Amino acid sequence: MARPALLLNAALVACALVLVARAGDPYQFHDWNVSFVNTSPLGVNQRVIAINGQFPGPELETTTNNNVVINLRNSLDEPLLLTWNGLQLRRDSWQDGTLGTNCPIMPGQNWTYQFQAKDQIGTFSYFPSLLLQRAAGGYGGIRIHNRAVIPVPFAPPFAELTVLIGDWYKFNHTQLRAALDRGEMIGKGDGVLINGRGPYGTTLTVQPGKTYRLRISNVGSVSSLNFRIQGHKMKLVETEGSYTAQALYDSLDVHVGQSYSVLITTDQSPKDFYIMATSRFSLPELTGVAVLHYTNSFSRVSGPFPAGPAVGDINFSFNQARTIKWNLTAGAARPNPQGSFHYGLINISKTVKLANSAPAINGKQRFAVNGISYMHPGTPLKLADFYKIGGVFSPNSIPDYPDGRSPYNGASVLSGTYRSFMEIIFQNNENPVQSWHIDGYAFFVVGMGPGDWTTSSRLTYNLVDAVARSTVQVYAKSWTAIMLELDNVGMWNVRSQNVIRQYLGQEFYMRVVNPEDPNGINEPIPQNVLLCGKAKK
């Protein structure tokens, strides 16, 4: 059964285990057993994916630069991979847990992930990346604390609480998958879960007169959610590893795959308060409700639900997004303030414009990026790269701009040069809000606006204090621009966080290569690598 995580120092571990030595930094070990459990989050009995019997799964709590070792046992009846959403896994896409980088862990098998939370702090989440399994659970929060020597830009909170919000379907994920495989579309979900429970199923108990840090992640399938707490303002302090200029919010939009930290102060007269997470852009509105309970409260939640922004009000969202800025004087993982990195002064070496679309291909509903709908070629791209196996993918197979080609299915790969500085425009000509994620990176969210992006849109960029994060929204018929330095070689998944769109092809891989390295893509292969497809000898 579950072994508690234990901390050992690296010297001890080096003699005990054959692991890559990463001098000085502590190791922590976890045994995670992934299985179905029966539960009924929305009143309908379902098999839900649990880890060590828990749904949501255990919090992965660590500290900058710790080495994390997770022995993951697949007790499902389907292949499994977990991905660490937002972790930068420096030069280590072997641990990323996506089908382009890893062979799946087959039912009844176990596989050990090992990675380092190198130079990172912040709030993230993990979830299963295959087969629409995220719609069945298997997710949890990730918390990376600052090392003790690095100051945090706010007083230590009394306690931290994880709040995982997400839409949920009463149909199970195998039924949903069967519908998508037939080429049908599925709707918006039936409700919103907060920490794995339906309405009133979760109570967060707090002491009066204290400050709490809430680590909020949207771990759902499709829906952007608005999060708010009756009678309490939230002070936003962190977005996926960037400490923000602290500002107060009545409610906060959290798009699929995004994470935020907020501080709340329990300064109200003793009572129970509603915690709400409601769908932002879809009608009928999906409503998640939990309870904030003061330990000295004797009255249950009452009164109307606290109101959020009107469903579909994009202006509210644009305006809120523009207020979320980096605190240039706050350090993070390293003692020097990250703000000393003047991203706005670096010359752009390449601009890429990525347009999502929803074509029918071979008579089936698919989703595409610049005309290509991603189809797994049967062999992880990373293995094909390492063993130089031809016929799996071709580098540079996705055009840098939408070029009007007629949509097709393929293993699309974008080429990037190590240390170059890239501008990416996500162009959404559709109505549903998009949520885009890049594995292995944090990028600067420099701008967003309605309509078509043009070169003059650059005049509106924030080149001073944009936040760096790993998942960004693109509103209906709008664009979002990001900038990133390609400082992490590897094969990195770029995906729609909308799990249905991702399952149906709205993703690709970015292959970042160092041309000065004779091996080009130069990460050492792990000793326990799984082989499959054409890499299986």
Ligand X SMILES: *[C@@H]1O[C@H](CO)[C@@H](O)[C@H](O)[C@H]1NC(C)=O
Q: How far is CA 329 from CA 36, 346, 446, in A?
A: 46, 20, 19
Residue closer to ligand X by CB (options 2, 159) is 2
Q: Which residue bears the tokens 């604390």?
A: 145
CB 80 within 8 A of CB 133: yes
Torsion of CA 91, 95, 96, 102, to 10 degrees: 120
Three-class secondary structure of residue 385 per DSSP: helix
What type of residue sits at position 22?
R
CA distance 448 to 92: 31
Give the residue at shortest CB distance from ligand X: 153
Residue 356 CB, nearest distance to ligand X (Å)? 23
**Of 199, 162, 223, 382, nearest to 291 (Cα)?**
199
Q: What is the DSSP letter of 197?
A: B
Residue closer to ligand X by CB (options 46, 370) is 46
Residue 340 CB, nearest distance to ligand X (Å)? 13
Residue closer to ligand X by CB (options 94, 111) is 111
CA distance 363 to 248: 49
CA distance 159 to 295: 14
- The CA-based angle 422-424-430, given to 5 degrees, is 175
Bridge partners (DSSP) listed for residue 478: 428, 450
**Of 264, 262, 258, 277, nearest to 196 (Cα)?**
277
Residue 72 CB, nearest distance to ligand X (Å)? 8
CA distance 366 to 423: 26
Residue closer to ligand X by CB (options 279, 297) is 279
Binding residues for ligand X, rule: CB under 6 A, are: 1, 33, 35, 47, 71, 73, 75, 110-112, 153, 172, 174-175, 245-246, 315, 327, 329-330, 345-347, 528
Residue closer to ligand X by CB (options 262, 372) is 262
Torsion of CA 340, 345, 346, 348, to 10 degrees: 140
Residue closer to ligand X by CB (options 111, 124) is 111
Residue 55 CB, nearest distance to ligand X (Å)? 12
CA distance 190 to 167: 7
CA distance 52 to 73: 10
Residue 474 CB, nearest distance to ligand X (Å)? 17
Q: What is the DSSP letter of 8?
A: E
Residue closer to ligand X by CB (options 1, 149) is 1
Residue closer to ligand X by CB (options 46, 125) is 46
CA distance 352 to 339: 25
DSSP H or E stretch at residue 161: strand 159-168
